């Protein structure tokens, strides 16, 4: 029997609030109880929107220099409390303490980039006299905040992906409501603390914890919410798009990212990058390497190298600095990945290493000869499994890489500039990483995909474009042309 403890409160309209009904939060490593968070109701979500209406008016009136100062103070708070943030990420989620510390560092950078981009929300003058009869008109456009943004965030980057919603929203002068994953809400609540300490006015930010059905759907459907920013799975994204109505939607919906290895590549370097890209965060990474297309002439060499490196990945206690990979977010997810691998093997795939589950842990796994009709061949695995394919040349690799309903990022290893440029032009993705795996991102670049991988782009400057609207201002001078 679990001892009842005082849990974390959620943050609504500038106030920390409790509820009688709660969600239990567990460490996926050993299913040990951490704490509780409130289980918000539909009424809570509606109230949060009402508070955000006030927040939208407040946020729009905050001068740019003060938005910048708030973001810098929040970044400083996160930086000076790095250990606490990292331990929270590593405890509630799948990341090792090293991965969690890196995520905290990225969160600080995300907030600081948001601070800088706040000063660069520019408009332009418009030459109205380009049209005959409009010689006496002058004007410009500027960008204004859209109002209330609802953001729904996943478990795999529970701090930095929240920062990618909050930072641009505040830089642009909006109010924002965060609905974090019910599996990992604690990091988002910690970030709300940072903004309280930074002096963000009341009502501008809320972090509401609860179910997607009660809280998420209420926010998505609400007419006062002018944008929904969602990071998660394709099916949920499609459901949100049907519900949202006439409002902006930004979505990053995952992928089964390809990486191409050509015969002139540095095989050791490529294998090391692919192992890191496939197994970091236990493979629960939207740009993680899932499919590797290797030119036939170097296939055997690459296969031997990636299997050898995969077997050196140290699986174990997330809180130890020496650990490379922790568990999946829960045992249910580990069983799902196990079932996908087993199905592939039963249909003819070759298990080169891994394929072993213990609780929520699933060993780094490499498969080859995966038949096209397996579910794992064209769906996002979101687990520590990578598939190897032999190809004749670059054109076959590109054709196979494109033959799925996703297109987030891709990687290619080659020393030939013409092959690199061909891949950059022909791969149907939002980003091509040359001599890197698909698992490369900085927080200032446009980030998003095509096809089933989503709509729009994140990356602070690009998110701000979605979080603002252009307004035209025109002056009819009506001057007397004879008085010059």
DSSP β-ladder status, 10-12 and 258-261: unpaired
Q: Is residue 236 domain-shared with residue 327, that is, in the same domain?
A: no
Establish if 197 belongs to a structural domain.
Answer: yes
Q: Is residue 340 domain-shared with residue 459, that is, in the same domain?
A: no
Establish if 441 belongs to a structural domain.
Answer: no
CATH number at residue 215: 3.40.605.10
Establish if 366 belongs to a structural domain.
Answer: yes
Q: Is residue 97 domain-shared with residue 246, that is, in the same domain?
A: yes
Q: Is residue 65 domain-shared with residue 191, that is, in the same domain?
A: yes
Helices (H), 440-483: 460-466
Q: Where are the beta strands (DSSP E) in 305-414?
A: 350-353, 357-358, 361-362, 365-368, 385-391, 409-413
Q: Is residue 189 domain-shared with residue 313, that is, in the same domain?
A: no
State how far the alpha carbon of 390 is from the alpha carbons of 19, 29, 303, 343, 443, in Å. Answer: 55, 36, 10, 21, 33
Q: Is residue 211 domain-shared with residue 343, that is, in the same domain?
A: no
Q: Is residue 156 domain-shared with residue 280, that is, in the same domain?
A: no
Q: Is residue 187 domain-shared with residue 233, that is, in the same domain?
A: yes
Q: Is residue 247 domain-shared with residue 286, that is, in the same domain?
A: no
CATH number at residue 415: 3.40.309.10
Backbone angles phi, psi at 437, to 5 degrees: -75, 175
Which tokens belong to 158?
Answer: 């529970």
Establish if 483 belongs to a structural domain.
Answer: no
d(CA 265, CA 242): 44
pLDDT in tens, 153-188: 999 999 999 999 999 999 999 999 999 999 999 999
Establish if 440 belongs to a structural domain.
Answer: no
Q: Where are the beta strands (DSSP E) in 288-358?
A: 291-295, 350-353, 357-358
Give the domain extent around 186: 10-254+449-471
pLDDT at position 478, please?
77
Residues 183/89, Cβ–Cβ less than 8 Å? no
pLDDT in tens, 414-461: 999 999 999 999 999 999 999 999 999 999 999 999 999 999 999 999
Establish if 98 belongs to a structural domain.
Answer: yes
Tell me which residues are annotated as active site: 252, 286
Establish if 289 belongs to a structural domain.
Answer: yes
Number of domain units in the chain? 2
Establish if 140 belongs to a structural domain.
Answer: yes
Residues facing residue 385 across a β-bridge: 365
Q: Is residue 306 domain-shared with residue 385, that is, in the same domain?
A: yes
Q: Is residue 359 domain-shared with residue 221, that is, in the same domain?
A: no
Q: Is residue 203 domain-shared with residue 290, that is, in the same domain?
A: no
pLDDT along the chain (484 residues), means of 10: 67 95 97 97 98 98 98 98 98 97 98 98 96 94 98 97 98 98 98 98 97 95 98 94 95 96 98 98 96 98 98 96 97 97 97 97 98 93 98 98 96 98 98 97 95 95 97 87 54
């Amino acid at each position: 029997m679990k001892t009842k403890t005082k849990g974390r409160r959620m943050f609504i309209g500038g106030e920390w609030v409790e509820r009688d009904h709660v969600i239990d939060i567990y460490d996926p490593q050993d299913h040990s109880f951490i704490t509780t968070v409130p289980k918000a109701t539909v009424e809570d979500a509606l109230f949060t929107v009402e508070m955000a209406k006030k927040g939208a008016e407040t946020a729009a009136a905050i001068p740019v220099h003060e938005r910048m100062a708030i973001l810098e103070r929040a970044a400083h708070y996160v930086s000076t409390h790095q250990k606490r943030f990292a331990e929270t990420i590593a405890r509630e989620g799948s990341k090792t303490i090293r991965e969690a510390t890196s995520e905290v560092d990225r969160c600080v950078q995300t907030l600081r980039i948001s601070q800088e981009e706040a000063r660069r929300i520019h408009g332009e003058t418009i030459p109205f006299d380009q049209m005959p009869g409009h010689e006496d008109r002058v004007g410009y456009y500027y960008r204004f905040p859209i109002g209330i943004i609802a953001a729904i965030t996943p478990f795999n980057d529970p701090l930095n992906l929240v920062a990618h919603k909050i930072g641009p929203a505040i830089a642009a002068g909006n109010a924002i409501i965060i609905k974090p994953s019910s599996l990992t809400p604690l990091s988002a609540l910690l970030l709300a603390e940072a903004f309280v300490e930074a002096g963000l006015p009341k009502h501008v930010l809320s972090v509401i914890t609860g179910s997607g059905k009660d809280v998420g759907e209420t926010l998505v459907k609400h007419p006062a919410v002018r944008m929904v920013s969602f990071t998660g799975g394709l099916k949920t994204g499609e459901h949100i798009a049907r519900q949202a109505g006439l409002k902006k939607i930004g979505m990053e919906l995952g992928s089964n990212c390809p990486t191409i290895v050509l015969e002139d590549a540095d095989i050791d370097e490529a294998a090391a990058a692919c192992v890191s890209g496939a197994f970091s965060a236990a493979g629960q990474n939207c740009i993680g390497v899932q499919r590797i297309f290797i030119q036939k002439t170097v296939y055997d060499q690459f296969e031997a190298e990636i299997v050898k490196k995969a077997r050196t990945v140290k699986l174990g206690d997330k809180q130890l600095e020496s650990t490379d990979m922790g568990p999946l977010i829960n045992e249910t997810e580990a069983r799902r990945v196990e079932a996908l691998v087993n199905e592939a093997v039963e249909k003819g795939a070759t298990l080169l290493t891994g394929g072993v589950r213990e609780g929520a842990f699933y060993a780094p796994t490499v498969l080859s000869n995966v038949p096209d009709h397996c579910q794992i061949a064209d769906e996002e695995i979101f687990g520590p499994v990578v598939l190897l394919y032999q190809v004749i040349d670059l054109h076959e690799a590109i054709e196979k890489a494109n033959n799925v309903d996703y297109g987030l990022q891709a990687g290619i290893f080659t020393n030939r500039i013409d092959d690199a440029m061909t891949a950059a032009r022909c791969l149907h993705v939002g980003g091509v990483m040359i001599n890197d795996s698909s698992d490369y991102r900085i927080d200032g670049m446009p980030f998003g995909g095509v096809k089933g991988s989503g709509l729009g782009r994140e990356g602070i400057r690009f998110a701000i474009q979605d979080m603002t609207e252009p307004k035209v201002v025109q002056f009819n001078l009506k001057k007397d042309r004879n008085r010059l």
